[in-house]
Amino acid sequence: MPTDAEQACFEAGIKFGSLYHQFAGTPISLESADSLARAMAEAIENQPYCESVTVDIRTDVLEAALAEGAADYTEFTGRFAEIEIVIDYEGNEVVARMEMDDGYPLMRLESIERQ
């Protein structure tokens, strides 16, 4: 049987996979970045046990990517955001983050407060 803390970690993973694969590929520009960030956060906050989702667009990375290409938009992918998700499952709080690690968007558990 899983512990409540393990359940909390499972739920945190679901939210990260959901957020990433729902929104990867979305057309994004400097002008539309804010509305995408807000929609990502509010959409995933609907899911069970999800206390909060914070999406920070890495504007400098997005600007640099747009400067390299011929268009004024690109596709949303992990390198354009830092994301924090907080889960509460039966009083067990898990904080998980997505950050770039060696070119990949790494999703990792940052902290667990076990009940």
Tell me how far apart the alpha carbons of residues 33 and 4 are, in angstroms, rounded to a whole number. Answer: 36
Contact 12, 47 (CB under 8 A): no
Residue 11 in the binding site for a copy of itself (CB under 8 A):
yes
Q: In the complex, what is the shortest distance from the CB of residue 9 to a copy of itself, in angstroms, rounded to a whole number? A: 4
Contact 98, 12 (CB under 8 A): no
Q: In the complex, what is the shortest distance from the CB of residue 60 to a copy of itself, in angstroms, rounded to a whole number? A: 19
- Tell which one of 59, 109, 113, 115 touches a copy of itself (CB under 8 A): 109
- Tell which one of 65, 77, 82, 84 touches a copy of itself (CB under 8 A): 77
Structure tokens at 88: 């509460």
Task: Report the candidate in 40, 43, 42 with the shortest Cα–Cα distance to residue 23.
Answer: 40
Tell me how far apart the alpha carbons of residues 41 and 5 are, in angstroms, rounded to a whole number. Answer: 23
**Among residues 21 and 60, whose Cβ is nearest to a copy of itself?**
21
Instruction: Indicate the annotated binding residues.
Output: 11, 107
Q: Residues interacting with a copy of itself, by CB under 8 A?
A: 1-2, 5-7, 9-29, 31-32, 35-36, 38-40, 42-48, 69-73, 75, 77, 96, 102-104, 107, 109, 112
